[in-house]
């Protein structure tokens, strides 16, 4: 059995689909299944058992001998939420409990960290574990992820294999439920569909022209491929970046979305809300050498390839992965 937490969510539901593709069908999905708009993410997938996240550790105490691998992707991911208690409960303490259970039962573990741990990027975007205690995230979400990374690195009791993945800007199918936290491509598609135009944030940094702010956008199909690689690899424990390794501009993202939709580009700019300006990242780019060094050699989708696949094969027909 393979356990996937946060399974009704964006990345985790894609991972369940990817596991099914490779004929892994004894999958235990863990989540708070009360959110109706997430239900379609798991529809049609081969799943052995649904376990509520509140009941999971009790379930694991009974079934640990049958569990081969755990992907802990469940978390509160809202970067605009500022109630630290929410993150302490769902991101930090639940993850500590997960780690301790995997260490006790010697179950290999892959968990979701985040590029939000890098904050403004003043220390760069290298997944060097020595700098993790020095990072200064810009919001409570990033802090919760970094706090857990720091804690994990301090533990003497460990699962026999573990990996933390610092997800950069992931986009792709199954994010229909995410609302304001969905990817820029998702929002661009819907703006273009409704208005024939889209809005980007104006730059408030003299070093960047409007639309030239840069992010490392990574397609969810690459993210789940890396998860599959680690499940089979099971050595070289540690914390790894997971981006495309190539920063691209929001302008390039927008133009590619228009092109994939067959619509003439029409881009407007609006001021970045004042409450976001102080914490706004103008550049992120994952250094991917560490993952490459342990043998992951698959090429990543380019922004052009990923946007085209996402728009034409999922957004336009309204399909799920």
Cα gap 225→217, rounded to integer Å = 16
Between CA 189 and CA 195, with CA 190 as vertex, the angle to 5 degrees is 105
Among residues 45, 158, 178, 308, the one annotated as catalytic is: 178
Distance between CA atoms of 286 and 217, rounded to whole angstroms? 10
Q: Is there a contact between 53 and 5 (Cβ–Cβ < 8 Å)?
A: yes
pLDDT tens sequence for the chain (321 residues) = 999 999 999 999 999 999 999 999 999 999 999 888 899 999 999 999 999 999 999 999 999 999 999 999 987 656 555 666 666 667 788 999 999 999 999 999 999 999 999 998 999 999 999 999 999 998 888 899 999 999 999 999 999 999 999 999 999 999 999 988 899 999 999 999 999 999 999 999 999 999 999 999 999 999 999 999 999 999 999 999 999 999 999 999 999 999 999 999 999 999 988 887 877 888 999 999 999 999 999 999 999 999 999 999 999 999 999
224 within a domain of the structure (yes/no): yes
- The verdict on whether residue 187 carries a ligand-binding annotation is yes
Provide the domain count of the chain. Answer: 1
DSSP, res 191: H
Q: Does 87 show up as a binding residue in the annotation?
A: no
Which CATH number covers residue 56? 3.40.50.720
* Inside any domain, residue 195: no
Could you tell me the pTM of the whole model? 0.95
178 among known catalytic residues: yes
With respect to residue 239, please indicate whether it lies within any of the assigned structural domains.
yes
Q: Is 171 an annotated catalytic residue?
A: no
269 annotated to a ligand binding site = no
Neighbours of 43 (CB within 10 A): 8
Residue 255 forms part of a structural domain? no
Out of 111, 125, 141, 219, which one is annotated catalytic? 141
Q: What contacts 95, CB < 8 A, 6 or more positions away?
A: 72, 75, 111, 148
Expressed as residue numbers, the domain containing 165 is 2-172+217-245+284-301
- How far apart CA 281 and CA 295 sit, in angstroms, is 30
Using CA atoms, how far apart are residues 212 and 160, in angstroms rounded to an integer? 43
298 belongs to an annotated ligand binding site: no
- Dist CA 226 CA 71 (whole Å): 12
Is 104 contained in some domain? Answer: yes
Q: Cβ of 65: how many Cβ atoms within 10 Å?
A: 8
DSSP 233-285: H--S-EEEEES-S--EEHHHHHHHHHHHHT----EEEEPPPHHHHTT--S---
> Within a domain: residue 264?
no
* Cα separation, 166 vs 245, whole angstroms: 12
24 within a domain of the structure (yes/no): yes
């Amino acid at each position: 059995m393979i356990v996937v937490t946060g399974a009704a969510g964006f990345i985790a539901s894609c991972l369940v689909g990817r596991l099914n593709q490779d004929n892994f069908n004894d999958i235990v999905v863990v989540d708070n299944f009360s959110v109706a708009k997430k239900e379609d993410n798991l529809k049609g997938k081969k799943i052995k058992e649904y376990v509520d996240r509140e009941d999971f550790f009790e379930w694991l105490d009974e079934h640990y001998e049958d569990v081969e691998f755990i992907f802990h992707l469940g978390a509160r991911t809202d970067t605009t939420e500022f109630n630290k208690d929410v993150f302490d409960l769902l991101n930090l303490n639940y993850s500590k409990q997960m780690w301790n259970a995997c260490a006790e039962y010697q179950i290999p573990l892959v968990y979701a960290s985040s590029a939000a741990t890098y904050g403004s990027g003043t220390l760069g975007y290298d997944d060097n574990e020595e700098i993790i205690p020095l990072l200064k995230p810009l919001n409570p979400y990033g802090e919760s992820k970094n706090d857990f990374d720091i804690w994990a690195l301090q533990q003497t009791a460990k699962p026999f294999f573990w990996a933390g993945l610092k997800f950069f800007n992931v986009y792709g199918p199954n994010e229909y439920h995410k609302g304001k936290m969905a990817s820029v491509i998702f929002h661009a598609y819907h703006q273009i569909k409704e208005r024939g135009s889209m809005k980007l944030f104006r730059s408030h940094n003299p070093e960047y022209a409007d639309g030239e702010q840069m992010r490392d956008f990574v397609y969810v199909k690459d993210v789940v491929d890396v998860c599959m690689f680690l499940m089979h690899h099971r050595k070289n424990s540690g914390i790894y970046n997971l981006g495309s390794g190539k920063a691209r501009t929001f302008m390039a993202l927008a133009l590619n979305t228009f092109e994939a939709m067959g619509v003439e580009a029409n881009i407007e700019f609006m001021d970045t809300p004042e409450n976001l300006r102080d914490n706004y990242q103008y550049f992120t780019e994952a250094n991917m050498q560490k993952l490459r060094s342990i043998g992951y050699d698959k090429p990543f989708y380019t922004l052009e390839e990923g946007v085209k696949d996402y728009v034409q094969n999922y957004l336009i027909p309204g399909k799920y992965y």
